Structure 1
């Protein structure tokens, strides 16, 4: 008799766990229930040994929807607003690079790992990109990937909870270009943004399924060409898919792998969050940008996750998106050259490195 792959059953199990987690979170009125509920439920079940699965295509679908939805906020007025905040955006990118450098020094000493692993574990960039760079320069890829998984988990859970407990909510200062759902227009936007995602992936753009669709939507919206709003159920579904995919990265031995290293990552992430909050409070008066918006812009999370948080809490979505994209681009551009420069000028850092 033919043997069928267990993957479909594991996918269904994974979806059921993620959906139950989201529905429980909705019932409990937690912040970002569709993403956080799916993430926590999936991560807990995976660490507990449940053999469920997600799939990269589902994560890409969720990112596609989020990228399209974010682009709808970039009206001509918003684009002008962002253009007037270039200096804060550059400052935010520089802040992320400096935090990463400080984190590398901390991890090297606190966790006792070689500099390459410490450097690419603390750099606030895309998890996949940092793991690839770590592999190229002799770091331990498994530790780097685990570090970024834990960092994103902590930021995605703690930052929204912090906003909830502080009672901070947004005012919808930057509404999307349109609130009307038009099915033909929505279909056209998905077709165009899908092409954008495939092109971004073809040229090797990081976070291609977020940034590709977002770039296409921004190009249209900034020219007053928003064909349709995004239905709420699609946004909720996208959050569930992203939370599910984040939780699926965890394994039963996740916290047993190099416990000293993982404890150091936890401390580093908490410090990075505190520093982001402090920097946001300090920069707010000088920039004219609200502290909550700056906190999300400077938070050491992922682009999609922080922008979802901004959208749900109505906290300056375009500015948060701009801060996160600027940071990601800067980190990806400078990480490799900066690492090589550090080894060249500080040969002692090579000790224990490949």
Structure 2
């Protein structure tokens, strides 16, 4: 843990001095990714990652206000476009992975833009290559995080930067609820329980105007430092050559998915008047936790973004088992054709 956080701190400082966006998330993430590819033993304990993800959930849920309800009337339209975009982008990315030698099950589950853990487990159960699916899913999240902030930064300048008006910690007592909310979320079997249980609790408190959690700049940077280090340290033990090959395959797949989803995001912008940055981040093929981090850090309508990513994750978890059965019936030989 100490090594990973130290490497992450170095990356954060270098990015901060370079004036790059999201310095304390992208810096630690890239630094740990490079360190892990060079054989360094970098890792962030899962318990620490979940604790800081819970803090993110509290911050995100605190964005809910009584005034938000009237906006939800527009969300069914954007939700429908989201689901159509997910289907189209998954098909395009899966076609690319098939060209890269993936078997059908691994291609489809590797291309699925969300619910990473469920996709890996279900793909493995259905005869796919679990390692390929896991690497494709993990790199998709990292590449989306790398692509989007510079894109927003280039086209909007400081417009996407997080607000720094909160100089002090507000309602910090909410942090004391995390030890209760984490086991409660697991007991309720919520997807991404470490994020969603605190998010729901904070949304109720904030929605009824009881309390909301805001973090000072140093608190946000601390949270981004730990979470960015955790994301980058996922590839411990992978050789640089193999990582380069997977980066090429996943990079093309991620760009294809982003282009397709950007078209659907433009439809949401045109039909509902939602900002292009908000619509794109809501549809971006990243994980709900990572996209929530970006939404809060960049101050891009976090509640709208989180709602659409949660909808996508739940839908994928419902649809994926039926899709897997269809794939297996259509390609019965796929169980024995894996390119392990």
TM-score (norm 2): 0.90
Counterparts in 2 of 1:35-184, with a 5 A limit? 35-108=25-98, 110-170=99-159
d(CA) in 1 for partners of 2:125 and 2:176?
Answer: 36
Q: Tell me, in whole angstroms, the C-alpha distance in 2 between the residues paired with 1:20 and 1:172.
A: 22
The answer to which structure has the higher helix fraction is 2
Once residues 168 and 329 of structure 1 are traced to their aligned partners in structure 2, the CA distance between those partners, rounded to angstroms, is 34
* Cα offset, 1:43, TM superposition: 0.5
Structure 1: gaps of 5 or more residues: 1-10
In the TM superposition, 1:315-326 aligns within 5 A as 315-326=300-311
Secondary structure of 2:227's aligned partner: helix
TM-superposed deviation, 1:228: 4.3
Contact 1:273 1:300 (8 Å CA) reproduced: yes
Give the 5 Å matches for 1:1-354: 11-108=1-98, 110-170=99-159, 185-187=171-173, 189-257=174-242, 263-344=248-329, 346-347=330-331, 350=334, 352=336
Distance 1:255 1:86 in 2: 44
Change (3 A) 1:261 1:37: closer
Q: Matches of 2:332 and 2:6 in 1, distance apart? A: 51
Check whether the contact 1:169–1:315 (CA below 8 A) recurs between aligned residues: no
Per-residue deviation, 1:172: 9.3
- What root-mean-square deviation, in Å, do the aligned CA atoms of Structure 1 and Structure 2 show? 2.7
Residue 259 and residue 49 in structure 1: after superposition, are their counterparts in 2 closer, same or farther (change >3 A)?
closer
Cα offset for 1:14? Answer: 1.4
**TM-score where L is the length of structure 1:** 0.86
Please tell me whether the aligned partners of residues 180 and 229 of structure 1 are also in contact (alpha carbons under 8 angstroms): no
* CA shift for structure 1 position 193: 4.5
1:172-214 deviation digits (Å, cap 9, x = unpaired): 99x99x958567x422x22334433322222332211111110
Equivalents in 1 of 2:113, 2:233: separation in Å? 21
Give the Cα–Cα distance (whole angstroms) in 2 for the partners of residues 114 and 226 of structure 1.
50
- 1:211-231, CA deviations, whole angstroms, 9 ceiling, x for partnerless residues? 111011111111111154333
In the TM superposition, what is the alpha-carbon distance from 1:80 to its structure 2 partner?
2.8
- Look up the SS of the partner of 1:134 in the other structure: helix
Q: 1:254 to 1:134 in 2, by over 3 A?
A: farther
**8 Å CA contact retained: 1:139, 1:353:** no
CA distance in 1, matches of 2:112, 2:241: 23
5+ unaligned residues in a row in structure 2: which ranges?
A: none
Distance 1:66 1:195 in 2: 16
Structure 1 residues 256 and 326, CA, compared in 2 at 3 Å: closer, same or farther? Answer: same
Residues matched between the structures, number: 338
CA contact (8 A) 1:31 1:160 kept: yes
